[in-house]
A and B are shown apart, each in its own frame.
Chain A
Amino acid sequence: MNKHTKFGFYIFFIPVFLWLFLLIVLPHIELLFMSLKYENDMGEMVWSLQNYKEFFSEEIYWLTFLRVALYAILVTFLTFVVTFPIAFYITKVVSPKYKGFLIILLLMPFWVSELVRVYGWMILLRESGVINYFLVSLHILDKPIEMLYNDVSMIMGLVYTSMLFMVVPLISSLDGMDDSYIEAAHDLGASKFIIFFKIVIPYTAPGIVSGSIVVFMLTLGNYLTPNLMGGKNSLWFTEQIYNQFIASFNWNQGAAFGFLLLLLSSLIIWIGLKLTKQNLAKALS
């Protein structure tokens, strides 16, 4: 029996180990090494922090970086604000008859590719788009205006794309919350406001944290939505990375950017977990 167990263990362990080592650990070490190499004037590759210096000395780089970080936090917050009432309504208010149907309806759009969703928004919002068509035909506008390609449309697009990853954990943690907590608080004379902030929010905190982590991470790493919906000057940091890799073919600089983005996302997630006293394994499963 013991021999069997050992044998079985290695059958499982070796592939998993290879996966983690070859496809996760090693590539990221390589990313770090590449970011620390720089081609000097002689055309030789040398170890250097030059790629990082570049980042801090060029305003456009670190400004983009900062802006993306702030926007990602904003998007995470907005996503929470938009989806919380929905999750609450579906789990606690609406008659249970409709609950299943509303949830399915809620999840349906997210099975469809992000690109299709973004495309839908583009044909709605752009100057020749559907909304403009209606506004002009109803004489609300004299001539079409460009509603796409600005920060507002981009943020809306990002919120739209991320909603699923917030609403699912919210629904499951609200579902797990017994109605009697709210009833008891109500019975003890608490106002809606107090119930919300003292009972509901603390109870659903784990769901909020795990939703926020995923939304934040996906927003930070998003490429499509900012690229297609954002304006010329709402450059996303992933686009900077792409430019370094594909346009300038400066892989070392790109690696440095990538590594910085990785650091940023890990850092903010870590702070988020610390502040709410959660741990990663629990928050993600």
Chain B
Amino acid sequence: MIRSLPKSKGYDISFIIYMVLFYTFLFAPLVVTCVLAFNDSEFPTLPWNGFSLDWFFSNTNDRVGIFNDSSNLTSIWISIKTAFFVSIFSLTLGTMGAFLFEQENFKFKQGFYFLALTPLVIPGVILGISLLLSTNTAGTYMENTFGIDVEFFRPSFWLVVIGQFAFISTFVLLVVSARLKKFDKSLEEAALNLGATRFEVIRLITLPYLKPALIGAGAVAFLMSFENFNTTLFLIGSDTTLPINLYLQVRDGSTPIINAISFLLIVSTSLMAIINLIFTKKEQ
């Protein structure tokens, strides 16, 4: 049954077969997507017509590679910008939240904590429409009463950032809290005792201790923002993010340029994952 107990051959073999099937199931769509990015064909399918980098570099009338496709490049840039701001904001707030819930005591703490976790169980679509509705109301109110038009009350880049920030902060909070829980408070006290101010304690002791968690949470926040679809869908203005842009293309018939983009995404996220992994390994 487990390593230390006698196992039958059949038990072992059926497990191995299942594992192979599972991992095939897991990787098939990604592998096929990547491979077809290099097929010399107008459609993302077989037969294999030979290796080609057209869908990356070409710039002819019938084949525009990703590096020459301004619409997709723009949306990638917008997604990066969004993810950048979202990770900065949610990292800041999530860390504050972690300090608040781990180190402070106050009335209704349990209630606030519960509330802080709810974004995990609120479907992204709902969060999207709620924010759309309330910012719309707020925007209308501002316009009617003060005659000012506040940009981020309308679907726009900043509204997307706010919407993603609203739930990604919770993930940061959980990751940072988990590490803060293991923090030995006597380190802070030792620093105070050696003459550090409260601010120096946080800067020199607590934050360096949290560094791996902050890096990890930052990476997760960046990826979640970069890939977010559900919440973004309702808040987006004219600045289309990559997932939305891809979705529109996939829905309306697809060309291998999507494979090319997917390939780049797969490679870069895998790289990021590996770097993150090495970081956490080293810290341990």
Contacts and interface: CB of A to CB of B under 8 A. Distances in A.
Interface of A: 4, 8-9, 11-13, 15-17, 19-20, 23-28, 30-31, 34, 82, 85-86, 89, 92-93, 95, 104-109, 111-124, 128-130, 133-134, 160, 163, 179, 182-183, 186, 192, 195, 213-214, 217-218, 220-224, 227-228, 238, 241-242, 245, 251, 254-255, 258, 261-262, 265-266, 269, 280-281, 284-285
Nearest to A224: B229
Contacts of A182: 1-2, 5
Interface residues of B, number: 88
B51 interface: no
A112 B266 contact: yes
B156 interface: no
Interface string B226-240: 110110011000000
A136 to B, nearest CB: 10
A27 B134 contact: yes
Interface string B123-148: 11111011111100100000000000
B270 A111 contact: yes
A29 B270 CA distance: 40
Contacts of B99: 12
Contact of A16 (B22, B96, B277): B96
Contacts of B150: none
Contacts of A111: 223, 269-270, 272-273
A280 B114 contact: yes
Contact of A179 (B4, B234, B247): B4
A250 to B, nearest CB: 12
Contacts of A119: 29, 33, 246, 250, 254, 258, 262
Given A107-B273, A238-B123, A130 B113 contact: no
A245 B129 contact: yes
Nearest to B116: A20
A254 B234 CA distance: 12
B282 interface: no
B229 A214 contact: no
B174 A31 contact: no
B106 A113 contact: no
Most chain B CB within a 10 A radius of its CB, from A34, A106, A120, A241: A120
B78 interface: no
A113 B15 contact: no
B251 A223 contact: no
A12 B29 contact: no
Identify whether the interface residues of B are mostly helix, strand, loop, or mixed.
helix
Interface stretch (B42-50, B53-61, B66-74, B210-218): B42-50
B191 interface: no
A119 B45 CA distance: 12
Contacts of B5: 182-183, 186
A269 B99 CA distance: 28
Contact of B251 (A17, A109, A228): A228
A241 B26 CA distance: 31
Interface in B103-124: 104, 106, 110, 112-124
Contacts of B82: none
B104 A9 contact: yes
B3 interface: yes
B185 interface: no
B106 A89 contact: no
A116 B265 contact: yes
B30 interface: yes
A27 B131 contact: yes
Interface in B86-105: 92-93, 96-97, 99-100, 104
B48 to A, nearest CB: 10
B18 interface: yes
A217 B123 contact: yes
* A-B pairs, 6 with minimum CB distance: A120-B29, A221-B123, A27-B130, A30-B134, A23-B166, A12-B100
Contacts of A106: 26
A258 B29 contact: no
B22 A82 contact: yes
A68 B47 CA distance: 37
A31 B132 CA distance: 9
Contacts of B204: none
A116 B30 contact: yes
